[in-house]
Every structure is written in C-alpha cells, then in structure tokens.
Structure 1
C-alpha cells in the first residue's frame, strides 16, 4: 500500500511539469497523516486479533468447563437416582418396621388393659365379699398391678399359734369363693411376724412361725374350700418386711399379718401379647 501511494505521488509529479511548494507541502502532510492513520489502524487490527485470540481461548476453556460440569452432573444424577432408590427402599423398610412396632405396642397395651380390667374386677369382687369384715383386720390393696389381701394375725390365729380360728375360716371361705371364680390368677400366701423372738419350743424362730402360718392358710383353702393347690404358694417372711415400727405395741400388731397376694398368670399374660404380635404380622 505504501508503494502504491508513492507511485501515485511520483506520477502526479511527473505529469505536472511544475508543482508549487505549497501544493507539495499539502500532499506531503496528507501522506504523513495517511501513514499515521494506517499505523493506527494496523495497531488496532493487531489488538483486535489479540482480543479475538483471547476470547476464543476463554470461550474454549468455558466450553471445556461446561462439558466437564455437564459430565459431572450426569454422573451425579445417576448417583442421586441410585441413592434415591436405595433411600426409598430403606424408608419403606423403616416404615414397615415402625408399623410392626406400633402393632406390637398396641398388642402389649391391649394385654395390659385386659389384665388391668381383670384386676379391677378381682378387687371389686374381694371388697364385695369382705365388706362386712372389720377394716382394721383386713386390707385390700393394689400395688404395681398386683392385688393383695392383708389379714391381721389376731383374726387368723391365737397368740404364738398357727392354728386358724373359726372366724378366720369364714373369711378364708369368702376369699376362696372369689379366687375360685378367677381362673386367670395364681396367688401366694405370705406369713409375717413382729421382731419379738418366739419362745415356744414347737417353733425354732420367727421364720418357722411365719412359714407354718402361711402353710396353715394354704391347707384350709385347699382342704376345706377346694382351691386348686397348683395355683398356690406358701412363703414365710419372718420379721424382715415390716409395715410399721416394731418399737410400739401397735406397730408390732400391724406387722403380725398374713398376706394373700393374687398374681396374674404370667404365661397367659405373655400369651396374650404373643397372640397380638402374630396378628400384627
């Protein structure tokens, strides 16, 4: 381009026999300006080429990044689908397990409620049968789901004796009628004494006295009132489970007692729970 411009100037000079200095100066000034503009254009073109190169490079890097990101997202999506499927299966198993546990808990509650209902009926029956007996001599209570009848020894036995009085047999007869009607229960007869040592030769100690008194009650229930012996247990507790202080005569009187503890048959109770669990499955 420079050569073309120079040739054109030379041609003009040749075709013009005489060019004024002013004209020549204008042409020279135009040439210099054009040359400067050309240089500027070349610099801008070079800058544009560099920008183009940088933009292309950045664009290619961005494309590469997007491709890698897309690939990673596809892999992650696959993992998420797998995890979601596994999570759904685990959640379903957990829900089934929770449902089974809820059914088991419901079965246990039903069994406990049934036992409590039977216990309440038993207490009502005992209180109804013994309502005309002196309250000081007989107590009927429920502790931790267990019913017990506590009978004062002054009603059951003579002092230092294990022979049951006739009045006591009437009381035991009423208790026997109730327990014979309640086949879902077993019971334990416990003998208790005060802390005074026994002084009679026929007893070794208070252990012996408390056990013989419990055994005497069991025999009357079995022999005279036909209570099934397989449902009964006789036990002596001696002086070691007092309900009052042995420092006073009144306290000792309370400690000399026989307890008939009515117990639910545990095999039947657990049987109700097992049946409920089978139904839950």
Structure 2
C-alpha cells in the first residue's frame, strides 16, 4: 500500500512537469493541478509518517517476534523437562501402585491372623493386669513396712543417741574416778601401785610387797595406809561398786598354817583387804572380795620377776550402769 502511494505521487508530478514544459494550460486547470499537487504533497507527507510509523511497528514486531522465538525455544525446553518429569512421575506412580498392592496383601494377611493375635494380646493383657495388681499390693505392703521401719529407725536413733550420752557420761565419770584415785595415791611408788582404765573400769593394782609379807594374809602398815586413802577417796561414790581380786603366782603354798593352796591364799588376802576398806568407811554391800589364785597372770613366764608381778591385788572400781542397762533393755 505504501509503495502504491509513492507511485501515484510520482506519476502526478511527472504529468505536471510534462504539462508545464510542453504547452501552456488554462488557469483553472493549473489551479486544479496545483491543488492536486498540494494534495499529493500532503499525501506524501502522510505517507512518510505512515512509513516511519510502519517501520517503528515493524521493528517492534521483529523484537516481539524475537521474544516469542525465545519463549518458544524455552517452551520446547520446558516441554522436554516436563516430559522427563512426566515419565519419572509415571515410574513413581507404578512404584506406589506396587507398594499399595503389597500393603494390601499384608493387610489381608494381618487381618486373617488378627483373631488369633487379638486373643493372645487379650490373654497377655489380662495376665499383665493381674501382675500389676499383685505388684501394687506388694508396693503398698512394702510402703507400710518401710513406714514401720522408719518409725523403728527413728526410735533406735533416739535410743542410740541416749546410749551415746550415757556412755559419754560414764566415760567422763570413769576418768574423773581414775583422776581422784590417782591423786589420792600419789605418794606410792609406781612399781608398788598403778591406776589404769580398762573396759570402762578403773583398775587399782597393788603389788604384794606393798600389802603382804610372803605367804601372809595380814596387810602391812604401808599397805593399810594406801587402802585407807583409797577408801577415803571412794567415800561418797555411791554409784561405784568395788571388786577386790586376790592373785598369786604359780608356786604352790607350803608350810603355812590354815592355808591349803593359792586359791585359799588369794581369797583370804582379798577378804582382809575388804575388811580394811569397809572399816575405813566403804559400804560393805558395795565391796566384794574374790580370789583368782594363779589363774589370771599378767606375765606368763616363770622367772622371779614375772612371778613377782603376778603376786598382786587388784581393786576394780565399776560405776553403776543401771541407766545404760535400762536403755539396752528397751532395744
């Protein structure tokens, strides 16, 4: 269409030129031709604008064509990817179908065994409920027993604390008694007289040479002095029992009037010492004489030195333990 407009315009221009060059024309015809020329120029300008617009539209269309071509290529590529995804999806669908079929078969198999399994599970449940009930009963019984043991333990702890208190007081009393006796007998030689604590008791050990002549049952004046000081120290100790033990060596007694053997000698000496202590002020009900003879030696040898150590009198001072025994009896 644009090419046709340009051809018409050129044709008219050519005619006008020919007319002007070939011959003279009338004014009216000239005006018509001039008017046509103006119209042709106007049409030519419009045609140029249309041509420019058409060229612009053509460039735009070419650009759109390029974009559409790219989009087409992308669609072709996406179509390929979509085809691959579709085939993969179909494979997954096939796998899922197979899995479903297997699950269906397993379900049918489980359903066929469900009755037997349900019966077994029901039996197990009943058994476990019975066991749980028994365990619960045992737990309650154990809790009662634990509560009882807890009460007993608390009671025992209280008695133990009380026992420890009494023992501590006893030990304190024994130490005080030992100190009092030791202070009362400070003037005597260590080899003649010793004061020790053993098994919660105070042992006053007096050697034979301090108390008696060999084979005699009469206490020498030095020995009487020691016994009187001991009695004075023990006066007022109403909670202390006194045991007097006579000990001899293993040499048999011979040619001593009225004494048959070492048993007899040890008893007579213990009795004599008991008399002196009670005459000096001790309560006779709290003093007990005892003869051990040669049965409890402090030295097992048969040397003169060992036998001299074995010939002794031990005065054993024992604090009363009534409160301690009362606590022990409650256990």
Same fold (TM over 0.5): yes
Alignment of 1:1-281 (within 5 A): 54-196=109-251, 197-223=253-279, 225-244=280-299, 247-274=302-329, 277=330
Deviation, 1:220, is: 0.8
Deviation, 1:136, is: 0.8
Cα RMSD for the two superposed structures: 2.9
Count of residue correspondences? 229
Deviation, 1:84, is: 2.3
Contact 2:248 2:311 in 1 (8 A): yes
Contact 1:111 1:272 in 2 (8 A): no
Q: 1:269 to 1:180 in 2, by over 3 A?
A: farther
Q: 1:186 to 1:52 in 2, by over 3 A?
A: closer
Q: 1:144 to 1:65 in 2, by over 3 A?
A: same
SS at match of 2:243: strand
Q: 1:177 to 1:51 in 2, by over 3 A?
A: closer
Deviation, 1:246, is: 6.0
Matches of 2:139 and 2:221 in 1, distance apart? 79
SS at match of 1:188: strand
Matches of 1:68 and 1:91 in 2, distance apart? 34
Q: Deviations over 1:47-99 (max 9, x none)?
A: 99987754532344454455444444444443333232222212222222333
> Gaps (5+ residues) in structure 1?
1-46
Between Structure 1 and Structure 2, whose CA radius of gyration is higher? 2
Aligned twin of 2:96: none
Contact 2:247 2:311 in 1 (8 A): yes
Contact 2:159 2:327 in 1 (8 A): no
Matches of 1:204 and 1:54 in 2, distance apart? 108
TM, length-normalised to structure 1: 0.70
Deviation, 1:105, is: 3.1
> Gaps (5+ residues) in structure 2?
1-101
Q: 1:51 to 1:265 in 2, by over 3 A?
A: closer
